[in-house]
Amino acid sequence: MKEQLEKIRQAAEQELDSCEDLNVLENLRVKFLGKKGELTAILKQMGSLSAEERPVMGQLANTVRAAIEEKIASRVQILKEQESARKLVEETVDVTLPGKKQDMGKLHPLTVTLNDIKEIFLGMGFEIAEGPEVETDHYCFEALNMPKHHPARDTQDTFYINENVLLRTQTSSVQIRTMENKRPPIRIISPGRVYRSDTVDATHSPLFHQIEGLVVDKGITMADLNGTLELLMKRIYGEDCQIRLRPHHFPYTEPSAEVDLMCFNCHGSGCSLCKNEGYIELLGAGMVHPKVLEGCGIDPEVYSGFAFGMGLERITMGRYQINDMRLLYENDMRFLSQF
């Protein structure tokens, strides 16, 4: 029995010394010291020993157990230390390495321009009004003095949903919605999407954005319109820009005008950018037609107003000298990241 105990001690020491894994170590502990382990098996034979031998063997068995336990404990300690040393090396963070660059998002140029325009008008005491993109014939045309079969409708080829419902072709519809619901003084701008059945090219898109403006009060004149638009354009295009009002016709304004910006390239003398005009057409405007006011229950003998409608794309393209409208919709990061 003594030899057997010695053998177990030697085997245990050998195996434990060469063990490199904490899981394997646990298996070894069970193998040598567990209830069904080798040492326990030997102790079970104690009954067959003589009364003198028994305490001697018992003591020896205890010494062997203690030695194995101690060995296991020191091995655990060593393996744990090795493990943490290895982790320290493996998981070292080099704080001197350059960081991972996070791409920052930016506002789209159309959004930047719209935000600027909103700020300018809010500063002049305007409110921002909204209207639906799916609109009725009444608000989009009829109430704007464009009855059915009016030739002015032809310039805005429309996506009809049915005879009376359509995708709005202009934000002018919001003028009517506002005047039907509010009494003067009225000062609003209304930005939003509009739709026309146009083929995509450098200056056309079936979906684009307009900003409508409307002021109705006592004593409003064309001079107020001129002053408001001049201030807007100076803020957007710079203090030295110049605008001009050129006679035009819209069914819902009288008189009507188209507003042009003096070409920033040639300053009015004519160049390829302005097609030799010296001016670039910016927007439509005019004094709200008495019939339109009346239709909304506002007395044209007491009140007058001006209105204008501009394309956000056109304003943005002029501002950043973008020559193709499609660039604004294609979301090419090489283009967008320039702003």
Q: According to the binding rule CB under 6 A, does residue 307 interact with ligand DAH?
A: yes
If the CB atoms of residues 236 and 285 are measured against ligand DAH, the closer one turns out to be 285
17 burial type by CB count under 10 A (0-12 exposed, 13-18 middle, 19+ buried): exposed
Half-sphere exposure of 138 (CA within 13 A, CB side): 7
Binding string to ligand DAH for residues 237 to 256, with x set by CB under 6 A, is what? -------------x--x---
If the CB atoms of residues 72 and 225 are measured against ligand DAH, the closer one turns out to be 225
Helix (H, G, I), strand (E, B) or coil at 17: helix
The whole-angstrom distance between residue 258's C-alpha and the CA centroid of its chain comes to 35
CA–CA dist 140, 292 (Å, integer)? 12
In this structure, what DSSP letter does residue 328 have?
Answer: G
If the CB atoms of residues 121 and 308 are measured against ligand DAH, the closer one turns out to be 308
Residue 5 near residue 42, CB atoms below 8 Å: yes
Binding string to ligand DAH for residues 36 to 75, with x set by CB under 6 A, is what? ----------------------------------------
Among 135, 137, 212, 260, binds ligand DAH (CB under 6 A): 212
Q: Scanning the structure block, which residue is given the tokens 């998981």?
A: 91
If the CB atoms of residues 57 and 216 are measured against ligand DAH, the closer one turns out to be 216
If the CB atoms of residues 113 and 256 are measured against ligand DAH, the closer one turns out to be 256
Minimum CB separation from ligand DAH for residue 336, in Å?
Answer: 27
Q: How many CB atoms lie within 10 A of CB 148?
A: 9
Among 251, 295, 309, 318, binds ligand DAH (CB under 6 A): 309
Minimum CB separation from ligand DAH for residue 244, in Å?
Answer: 16
- Which residue, among 224, 183, 232, has the nearest Cα to 306 in the 3D structure? 224
Binding string to ligand DAH for residues 262 to 291, with x set by CB under 6 A, is what? ----------------------xxx-----
Among 145, 170, 173, 316, binds ligand DAH (CB under 6 A): 170
Torsion of CA 235, 238, 242, 248, to 10 degrees: -50
The answer to whether the bond into 147 is cis (omega within 30° of 0) is: no
For ligand DAH, the binding residues (CB under 6 A) are: 170, 172, 212, 250, 253, 284-286, 307-309
